[in-house]
A and B are shown apart, each in its own frame.
Chain A
Amino acid sequence: MIFSFDLLFEAILFGILLGCFYAAVSIGLSVSFGLLDVPHVAHPAIMVFGSYCTYIVAGWGLDPILSGVLLMPAFFVLGVLIYRFYYETFERRGADAAVRGLAFFFGLAFIIEVGLILGFGVDQRTVQAPYIGSSLALGEYRIPYRMLVAFGVALVLTLALTLYLSKTFTGRAIKAVAQDEPALRLMGANPVRIKQWAFGIATGVSALAGAMLIIIGPVEPALDRVYIGRTFCVVVLAGLGSMTGTLAAGLILGVAESLVLMFFGASWAPAVAFGLLLVVLGIRPQGLFGR
């Protein structure tokens, strides 16, 4: 493989853009799994579902990002419903529930994936937008606009959510319920309603994440499988419950993947997220910033 500093720089730059995108798609999981302890393996599947919804809405002539934003309220409601169901069925019933909860979300992910195949077929779907297909020329470097747009939206989303969780009352209540539920109960707040709200936000964010996903590249129903690795890698590497950690972890994953892609070839890149995940689990399961 040829090595040059130009190539290295471009790879790192691409990795940073990609990494911020990975952070944004993982932030929903950071809330639902990191804070709320829900074994939400269906998170990437819901995000891919969001991509397909964006595909439909954008097909009516709207810009994909706008479509994603418009879908957020609907996905919020979806999230609330899912959490409610999960809570009533599993979280209350104790012991065996861990196995069942995992199996439930796994089954849900499969149902979503197959549902998409039955509804849309296995063909790839893409969206059109003025910023998809051209790139910014900076001297010798070419940065695709679709990456810049995804990067921008991802950054805004991540910062907005982090601020929400640390500055607003509900946001802090969410963090509190993750840390000390009984204390929260004693203060008169209803933890279940807070968790349900948080899960709804996490799912709403997934709609926008799905929109970014289909902007970055074509989507197909089985795409959720590789994203299980990426999102859980980011969340575990960050440390459960840390929002700023999610951004840092996303960047690390993005750059790592980009470097592997550039210097070892496209056939090794899919394993980077999963490999990194195993390494973190083996060496430092609490992640970089974990509590």
Chain B
Amino acid sequence: MKFWISMAVLGAAAFGLALSPVNEYFFYAAYVVLTYVVLATAWNILGGYAGYVNFGTPAFFGIGAYTAVLLFRWMQAPLALQIAAAALMGALLGFGVGMLTLRLRGIFFAIATVAVIFIMETLMINWRYVGGAQGLQLLRPDVTAPFATYTRMLFVLMVAMAIAGIAIARYIQDSWIGRGLRAVRDSEEAAEASGVPTLRLKLLACTVMGALMGAAGAPMPMYLSFIEPASTFNLSYTIGALGSAIIGGMSHWLGPIVGALLLGSLQQIITVTISGEVNVLIVGVLLVLFVVLAPQGLLGLVKRWLPFSR
């Protein structure tokens, strides 16, 4: 109950913020940070709970973005429909990739997810209708009241999506699904031997992860008014999602949130003040530092003060 109350408060606060005269750029930057909250939370469902490292975040994110573009171009679909369709496509891709590769060892799964990124990117490069390698300019529809600009509306939308993603991750973590996934992470063979349906659980996690990542990708074309394959399928999403989860802490749903908020905000500030490259460098360095020195993440470091359901 506490959880839902705090989420409601957060949602209301975000809504209020969007109506206040805060500088426009805040919403522009915050949207990106919130995207990473959703991506990291989704990533953690398979990566943190089950121990299967997914490098292919851009593939799921990208299929969501391009589904949205397709629907927008074809029938001027409203954003809600774009997001729903994107989530569906992400789920299908997650299920498909899962079926193909979740039977293999960890590193093969990871490499297979990289392969999916490039294959998806090549497919989009060759599809003229959604822009091909050239990209597509998109004219946004007029923004609905009470929002002053489209970006503010997207900000509130992303907050809502983050809340939904967190709720899903929390549910999975506390339920029998989470227990099963943890069993897989700790020792897959032992879990199988005790009758845990490992493949089905992994598939479920992969599908849910795909759906959330696809949903997070859907508003991106509207956000930029432009889409093109190279930046949509960029490996920076991989390291952002994975890094946020590892730095925040992989064993609890709070971890990715903390990681994404900190990492994302740091990235935005550095991009504005120094450069886009230095920001990626810092993420890489932080990732390596945490992986080596603090594998339990920030949450692990403050373990004593948080209720863990381990």
Contacts and interface: CB of A to CB of B under 8 A. Distances in A.
Given A95-B186, A277-B112, A285-B108, A103 B291 contact: yes
Interface stretch (A112-120, A163-171, A209-217, A248-256): A112-120
B115 interface: yes
Interface of B: 47, 51, 53, 55, 100-101, 104, 106-108, 110-112, 114-116, 118-119, 121-123, 125-126, 133, 186-187, 235, 238-239, 242-243, 246, 250, 277-278, 280-281, 283-285, 287-288, 291-292, 295
Interface stretch (A127-135, A145-153, A189-197, A222-230): A222-230
B265 to A, nearest CB: 19
A103 B53 contact: yes
Contact of B280 (A110, A228, A275): A110
A104 B110 CA distance: 13
Given A228-B114, A278-B119, 18 more contacts: A102-B107, A104-B288, A104-B291, A106-B55, A106-B242, A107-B285, A107-B287, A111-B281, A115-B281, A225-B235, A229-B114, A229-B115, A267-B125, A271-B123, A277-B115, A278-B115, A278-B116, A282-B100
Q: Is the interface of A mostly helix, strand, loop or mixed?
A: helix
A243 B181 CA distance: 37
Contacts of A41: 55, 110-111, 114
Contacts of B242: 103, 106
Given A39-B110, A275-B119, A281 B51 contact: no
B166 to A, nearest CB: 22
Contacts of A281: 100-101, 104, 108, 111-112
25 contacts: A39-B107, A39-B110, A89-B292, A100-B291, A102-B107, A102-B110, A103-B242, A106-B239, A110-B281, A110-B283, A111-B281, A111-B284, A111-B285, A111-B288, A114-B278, A118-B277, A232-B114, A270-B118, A271-B118, A271-B119, A274-B114, A274-B115, A274-B116, A274-B119, A275-B115
Contacts of B104: 281, 285
Interface string A146-190: 000000000000000000000000000000000000000000000
A270 B285 CA distance: 29
A98 interface: yes
B198 to A, nearest CB: 16
Q: Is the interface of B mostly helix, strand, loop or mixed?
A: helix
B100 A100 contact: no
Contacts of B125: 267
B115 A107 contact: no
A232 B111 contact: yes
A106 B107 contact: no
A96 interface: yes
A82 to B, nearest CB: 12
A268 interface: yes
A69 interface: no
Contacts of B285: 107, 111
Interface of A: 33, 39, 41, 89, 95-96, 98-100, 102-104, 106-108, 110-111, 114-115, 117-118, 225-226, 228-229, 232, 236, 267-268, 270-271, 274-275, 277-278, 281-282, 285
B191 to A, nearest CB: 13
A269 to B, nearest CB: 9
Contacts of B114: 41, 228-229, 232, 274
A104 B292 contact: yes
Contacts of A96: 51, 295
Most buried by A among B55, B123, B235, B285: B235
B230 to A, nearest CB: 10
Nearest to B52: A99
Nearest to A274: B115
B135 to A, nearest CB: 14
> Looking at A95, A106, A281, which has the most chain B CB atoms within 10 Å of its CB?
A106
B277 A114 contact: yes
A73 B7 CA distance: 57
Most chain A C-beta atoms within 10 Å of own C-beta, residue among B110, B239, B242: B110
B280 A107 contact: no
A177 to B, nearest CB: 19
Contacts of A274: 114-116, 118-119
Contacts of A267: 122, 125-126, 133
Contacts of A271: 118-119, 121-123
A261 B283 CA distance: 36
Contact of A103 (B112, B118, B246): B246
Given A103-B291, A275-B115, A98 B107 contact: yes
Contacts of B108: 236, 281, 285
Contacts of A110: 235, 239, 280-281, 283-284, 287
Nearest to A89: B292
A136 B118 CA distance: 34
Nearest to B246: A103
Contacts of B278: 114, 118
Contacts of B280: 110, 114
Contacts of B106: 39, 98-99, 102
Contacts of A229: 114-115, 118
Contacts of A282: 100-101
B284 A114 contact: yes
Contact of B111 (A103, A104, A277): A277
